[in-house]
Amino acid sequence: MGIRIKKNDRVKVLTGKDKGKTGKVLFVDKKNSRVVVEGINIVKKTRRPDQQNQKGGIMDIEAPLNISNVMVVCTKCDETVRVKKRKLENGKNVRTCGKCGEILDKV
């Protein structure tokens, strides 16, 4: 089964220390089934000084979550939903909400 979460989707965390929080997907790692969500699973990392970060030090960054621990939130229902696939009349495949049928992809 393919990964049905994409970058810029709004997702809700189902398990872990940030259970119940929602955020926007920043990155999807299909190979390792991981997602990075904005403002979720914040960890402290030490960074060395470099060209972009002159100071270095301890920084807060988002760590990846397992893709099974998040679920897509429908924009119309405003609930967590299962993602279904549907083919439009023009032959394009789109992701839709499993509850209301709203198209999740920008057509």
pLDDT at 107: 56
> Using CA atoms, how far apart are residues 24 and 45, in angstroms rounded to an integer?
21
The closest of 83, 105, 74, 73 to 92, measured between CA atoms, is 105
> Do the Cβ atoms of 14 and 44 come closer than 8 Å?
no
Low-confidence ranges of the chain (pLDDT < 70): 1-2, 107
> Using CA atoms, how far apart are residues 57 and 67, in angstroms rounded to an integer?
30
pLDDT at 1: 55
pLDDT at 52: 82
Specify the pTM: 0.83
